[in-house]
Amino acid sequence: MDSAAETQTPIQEAWALLGRLFWDMRPRMIRVAADVGLTPPQLFALRMLDPDEPVPMRALAAALSCDSSNVTGLVDGLEAQGLVERREAEHDRRIRLLVVTPRGNDVRERMLAVVQQVPEALQELGADDQRALRDILQRALG
């Protein structure tokens, strides 16, 4: 049994820890969706919409990594609750633009307030670690 073969590199260890961190967010996501009257997929859809800029159905399907026929149903659900509206695009009448209603934006903001809550484990880091974490992630993703 070669123990060296099973030794993870630092970044592999980091990735595994991040996996745990995000998996632990699952119950929170399920709960907040229910709290605002949405299913998790509907929550993700509303999350991807832009309150300031109408989004074509097509773009939402791409953002959700799913088929456009699926988006039809998700948007039907959101529209039935008055959270989004379909609007025709002026320059291309094939396209339906998704507009977040004021009520939809209210739900969206309440949902985001929970989703964006920093997990306790990260909040308990020292100020130096918190800044270092941000800096490293900005170098990687920024």
Both tokens of 101, joined, read 């209603």
> Which residue, 92 or 120, has its beta carbon nearer to a second copy?
120
- Our measurement of the distance from residue 102's CA atom to the centroid of its chain's CA atoms, rounded to an integer in Å, reads 20
Minimum CB separation of residue 85 from DNA in Å reads 11
Question: What count of residues does the chain have?
Answer: 142
Helices 57-64/68-80 angle, 10° precision: 110
Binds 113, which of DNA, a second copy, none (CB < 5 to 8 A, cut-off by type)? none
> Taking a C-beta distance cutoff of 8 angstroms, is the pair 64, 43 a contact?
no
Q: Is residue 19 a contact point for a second copy (CB under 8 A)?
A: yes
Footprint of a second copy (CB under 8 A)? 9-22, 26-27, 30, 65, 115-116, 118-119, 121-125, 127, 129-134, 136-142
